[in-house]
């Protein structure tokens, strides 16, 4: 549900070409008060020779899901709608992969940025306890059996993945703090136009926003087990359609050689097919990861080995949204984690 958006379109494309779904295309739904519409009218780029011309986006009805025997429901919707739909889906025995921020955060203080109307209710607490943060590289085993997977934010993915191996190893001097400087293409703001995503504002421009208050900050704090004083995260709007580049600055507690850092990364991500670790000094660029399902990580320690700059790149609509959701589907269904993504 929510196929009309940018992430929803990419999710549809991936599912339509997924090997395990070749003879069983997904169902696509719009608002309950919408009218049936051919999928390729909404997204002409999805037209191919696989019979997609016959697929429709239908008004959402629970009865249609039950009649079709739907087992997994993707929600590519605003978080307010996911707060309503996810509990009912679970009650009906349907597993949920939610691409919004509705269920990502365990701490009520971190959730406050969303101002959920049902915050503190018995239902919301019960659902939140079931939610698993959907980053396969960190929570693979829990995702396999999860009823509700909360897909991570795009910025959060680009910061958590490059930082987690170093923080988990105890190498990062947290007293000296971490600086994460992230830049995203305009599609990260969603499909609904705003003054700041208007061409006349975004083109030939670079702007910072959400200082000390971006919604993804809570994800960094929870998944890296940091306090607000230990990391500064600043997002920026890039004048490109898609892609994220995060430049991260850390101090080590003890000097580390580049070879040690590379071994740390490669060991941590040895079983993670959608993370590509670059050799020391070879830094990722957005053009390498855009339109792919990978998160690319590169790094360079300073000559003394006490400081390190890390660069991570990903496609905000894919590894930052749709392809990470498909990774989670693969784990939940017992398929190869990279199925349909490489």
Cβ proximity of 119 and 309 under 8 Å: no
Phi-psi region of 253 (alpha: psi -120 to 50; beta: other; left: phi over 0): alpha
Q: Which candidate in 154, 180, 264, 308 is catalytic?
A: 154
Closest by alpha carbon to 163, among 50, 2, 53, 295?
295
As a whole number of angstroms, the longest Cα–Cα distance in the chain is 64
Phi-psi region of 49 (alpha: psi -120 to 50; beta: other; left: phi over 0): alpha
Q: 39-45 contacts: CB < 8 A, separation 24 or more? A: 39/3, 39/12, 42/3, 42/4, 43/3, 43/9, 43/12, 45/9, 45/13
Residue 58 DSSP SS3: strand
Q: Residue 334's CB: how many other CB atoms inside 10 A? A: 8
Cβ proximity of 157 and 221 under 8 Å: no
DSSP assignment, residue 290?
T
Q: Is 205 exposed, middle or buried (0-12, 13-18, 19+ CB in 10 A)?
A: exposed
**CA 324 – CA 293 distance, rounded (Å):** 8
180 belongs to the catalytic site: no
Q: Give ∠ CA 104-110-112 in degrees, rounded to 5.
A: 105
3-state helix, strand, coil in the chain (%, to 5): 40, 20, 40
Residues belonging to the active site: 154
């Amino acid at each position: 549900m929510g196929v009309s958006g940018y992430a929803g379109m990419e999710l549809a494309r991936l599912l339509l070409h997924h090997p395990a779904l070749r003879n069983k295309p997904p169902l696509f739904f719009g608002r309950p008060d919408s009218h049936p519409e051919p999928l390729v009218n909404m997204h002409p780029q999805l037209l191919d020779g696989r019979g997609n011309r016959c697929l429709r986006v239908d008004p959402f009805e629970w009865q249609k899901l039950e009649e079709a025997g739907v087992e997994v429901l993707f929600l590519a919707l605003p978080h307010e709608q996911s707060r309503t739909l996810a509990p009912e889906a679970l009650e009906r025995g349907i597993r949920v992969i939610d691409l919004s921020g509705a269920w990502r955060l365990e701490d009520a203080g971190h959730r406050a940025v969303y101002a959920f109307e049902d915050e503190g209710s018995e239902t919301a607490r019960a659902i939140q306890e079931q939610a698993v943060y959907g980053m396969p590289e960190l929570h693979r085993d829990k995702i396999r059996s999860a009823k509700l997977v909360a897909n991570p934010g795009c910025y959060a993915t680009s910061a958590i993945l490059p930082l987690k191996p170093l923080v988990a190893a105890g190498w990062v001097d947290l007293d000296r703090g971490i600086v994460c400087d992230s830049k995203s293409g305009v599609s990260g703001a969603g499909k609904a136009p705003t003054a700041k995503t208007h061409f006349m504002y975004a083109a030939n421009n670079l702007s910072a926003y959400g200082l000390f208050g971006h919604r993804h900050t809570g994800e960094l704090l929870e998944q890296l087990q940091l306090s607000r004083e230990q990391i500064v995260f600043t997002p920026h709007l890039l004048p490109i359609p898609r892609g994220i580049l995060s430049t991260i600055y850390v101090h080590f507690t003890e000097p580390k050689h580049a070879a040690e850092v590379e071994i740390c990364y490669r060991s941590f991500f040895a079983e993670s097919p959608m993370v590509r670790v670059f050799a020391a000094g070879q830094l990722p660029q957005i053009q390498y990861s855009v339109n792919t399902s990978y998160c690319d990580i590169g790094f360079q320690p300073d000559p003394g080995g006490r400081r390190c700059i890390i660069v991570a790149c990903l496609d905000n609509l894919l590894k930052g949204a749709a392809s990470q959701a498909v990774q989670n589907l693969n784990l939940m269904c017992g398929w190869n984690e990279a199925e349909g993504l490489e």
